[in-house]
Amino acid sequence: MAEEVSILTKATVRMRQSGRVLEIVGALRKGGKDRLQVISDFDRTLSRFAYNGKQCPSSHNILDNSKVISEECQPELKALHKHYYPIEIDPRRTIEEKLPDMVEWWTKAHDLLCQQKIQKFQIAEVVRESNAMLREGYKTFFDTLYQNSIPLLIFSAGIGDILEEIIRQKKVLHPNIHIVSNYMDFDKDGFLRGFQGQLIHTYNKNSSICKNSDYFQQLQGKTNILLLGDTMGDLTMADGVPGVENILKIGFLNDKVEEQRESYMDAYDIVLEKDETLDVVNGLLQDILHRGDGVPLEEQMETHSPGVLACPPSGKSSPSLLCAPGWMACHLILTVTLQVGLVY
């Protein structure tokens, strides 16, 4: 059975308006690869949030916890994270209320890093010795986009040099990738002296950052967008794209799930709760690109009414299904007849 059946029935999937999602997927499919571009956050979107119950490092964390940071500086960086991270994910505060704190956090952290005499050649070693992990299915994701000539913009408030090196070491740094991030500025002797360009933090990832770039202008005709993020700040990453026709927003809800679920479901078309894979994204790409022998997605699903897709975790899929174990149908919205039986 084709994997299109199971794309949106994985236990981690939540949708406020399933019918609307299917409409957007249909429009993306109709436009095909020639009209599609992907815009994605990096930290905790393409990279994992946790592994075996332990939180994975972000691109900032990788540097903060490395041997190039002095013993005196590491506690200061950890203290900044302890103070500002709860503010970053606090659903009770507006983005406007969080902005000054985010600017303050990034500025203080970058100032501390610039005091560490970090050398350019050390970046590759820092990444190699770290616990950096991309989400399961990352190779399929990166390779599918490259093989189909689909542009991928990685728009990150992390450290560009670190995340680029992670992608390089994973051997998926393809020519179709463009990265907008906080890149280090090294002096003539190779020592870190600052960061290039405008500071990018969680909540200013919008057209103001890309206004001096002709990246989006070079992608004339790429008016369909698949957007991937994990914070409310990621929702504006496509603001600089001219003439957007269709956009599907997929949000990874990694932390404080109960507290943030409603706001995420209001903001993102598809919410993935504590899902450390790219299964759903890859499955959607396959459907959009007409991969496999299955019947199109909407013909496999009967949408009853708008509501919450709340699939209870249970069991495993048949080995004959082209999907990850743990995917199953949801009785709240979808009625799907599979070869292996009736799931409702």
Beta 36-40 vs 152-159: how paired, if at all? parallel
Q: For residue 253, report the phi and psi dihedrals to the nearest 5 degrees.
A: -95, 100
HEC string for 268-335: CCEEEECCCECHHHHHHHHHHCCCCCCCCHHHHCCCCCCCCCCCCCCCCCCCCCCCCCCECCCCCCCC
Query: Token match 């005709």: residue?
Result: 221
d(CA 40, CA 45): 7
Residues 276, 290 contacting (CB under 8 angstroms): no
- Triad 15, 17, 18: Cα angle to 5°: 70
| Of 29, 241, 20, nearest in space to 151 by CA | 241
Indicate which residue of 41, 64, 269, 279 is catalytic.
41
| Of 327, 309, 211, 314, nearest in space to 268 by CA | 309
Query: Token match 């919410």: residue?
Result: 271
Is residue 55 exposed (0-12), middle (13-18) or buried (19+ Cβ within 10 Å)? middle
Is residue 43 part of the annotated active site? The answer reads: yes
d(CA 157, CA 84): 15
Output the six-digit token pair for 269. 């078309």
Indicate which residue of 34, 43, 90, 269 is catalytic.
43
For 283, residues 6+ apart whose C-beta sits below 8 A from its C-beta are 3, 4, 6, 7, 323
Q: What's the helix, strand, coil split of the chain in %, to 5?
A: 40, 20, 45
User: Active-site residues: which are they?
Assistant: 41, 43
